[in-house]
Amino acid sequence: MSTRPTAVLATGLAALLLAACSGGGGAAGTAARSPGGPEPVRATPTPTPLPTGPYVALGDSYTSGLKIAPQVGEPRGCARSAVNYPSLVAKALGLADDRFKDVSCSGARTGDLTGSQETDGGGVNPPQLDALSPATRLVTVGIGGNDAGFMEVVGECAKENLADVVKSLIGSGRAPAPCKDHYASAGGAADQVQRKVDTAGERLGQVLQEVKRRSPQARVYVVGYPVLLPADPASCAPVLGRALAAADLGFIAEKEQQLNAMLKRRAETAGAVFVDAAAPSAGHDMCAGEAARWVEPPFPAPGLAAIHPNARGQEGVAAAVLKAVRG
């Protein structure tokens, strides 16, 4: 077996994240009906009016639309696309340009929401929360993956699997899950991943409190991450080959699930709405066919970013956000 594709895959994976009802049921709201009497009159719930802006979008590269054409805005290093999900949401809501501000930025962590961010592509992005004001009525927040160290987990898995392939060439055979074994042998390092996710959650909680303080009338939506891998990681063989053990792909998928679960908890605690991007993206992971996938694989289509959403992925997340906003 040639080891070159494996080495390239490891490099691609290791670069993953360089570029995360209104109340009442039962009898409430139901009028009593006397035997033989007329049907009771039931109140029609008043629909929540759609926000008319101003709308501010906060987030990292999964929000900004890394490498999806056309790239717009300043600084250029933030890699914002004119067809990322915030832009699609703003368009669907009929918001004028002066009622929408996208300050998301590739590589952003929660600290970059309150402090300036030096971008890899040049330029400084001001603190994202500075875009908020008391007039803001809609906020989406898509962040946390970089804080949680998801890139380190994927990079470590790529490295451990590459080393395992090399060992197998000298006759020692492949391990079922070299990356998971690495964490298990590192004195509970797998728990360190969870601790990073928890720390990211604490920071996100503080960010959401600050959003509420600056924009008390805004409806706030925390947007989760679309799935990277299918329910059966072994089905990725046609795309990823045998470079990564199926059990390690499952390990990566588990860490992403933990990240999304944390985002959901923090949103609910802060009184925000969690937008689940994982459920609608099922079957559209990076191992799906080119026409179906929402996330690009380590060998992406020309011009797109590896292991990041493509234009279809942005459209899918936009639909999930709009569904939540429209209630």
> Tens of pLDDT along 174-205?
666 767 777 666 655 556 677 888 999 999 99
Note the pLDDT of residue 179: 73
Contact 114, 27 (CB under 8 A): no
**Token pair for 293:** 């996938």
178-185 vs 150-169: helix axis angle to the nearest 10? 110
Note the pLDDT of residue 246: 74
**Token pair for 172:** 């020692």
- Classify burial at 327, counting beta carbons within 10 Å of its beta carbon; exposed 0-12, middle 13-18, buried 19 or more: exposed
Residue 287 reports pLDDT greater than 80 = yes
Lowest mean per-residue pLDDT among 16-25, 30-39, 102-111, 298-307:
16-25
User: If DSSP codes are grouped into helix, strand and coil, which group holds residue 253?
Assistant: helix
| Distance (Å, whole) CA 279 – CA 271 | 21
Q: What are phi and psi of 17, to 5 degrees?
A: -115, 25
Note the pLDDT of residue 137: 98
Lowest mean per-residue pLDDT among 57-66, 101-110, 132-141, 296-305:
296-305
Residues 251, 253, 254, 258, CA torsion sign: positive
Note the pLDDT of residue 204: 97
Q: What are phi and psi of 31, to 5 degrees?
A: -75, 145
Q: What 8-state DSSP symbol labels residue 127?
A: P
**Token pair for 274:** 């969690």
More confident site: 168 or 272: 272
- The residues facing 100 across adjacent strands are 55
More confident site: 50 or 240: 50
Residue 256 reports pLDDT greater than 80 = yes
Q: Give the DSSP letter string of 36-88.
A: T-PPPP-PPPPPPPPP-S-EEEEESHHHHTTTPSSEESSSGGG-EETTSHHHH
Lowest mean per-residue pLDDT among 197-201, 251-255, 273-277:
251-255
Lowest mean per-residue pLDDT among 6-10, 148-152, 272-276:
6-10
Residues composing the chain:
327
- The residues facing 117 across adjacent strands are 125
Please give the model's pTM, rounded to 2 decimal places.
0.82
Topology, domain 53-326: Rossmann fold (3.40.50)
User: pLDDT band at residue 30, thresholds of 50, 70 and 90?
Assistant: very low
Note the pLDDT of residue 247: 75
Cα of first residue to Cα of last residue in the chain, in angstroms, is 52
CB atoms within 10 A of CB 23: 6
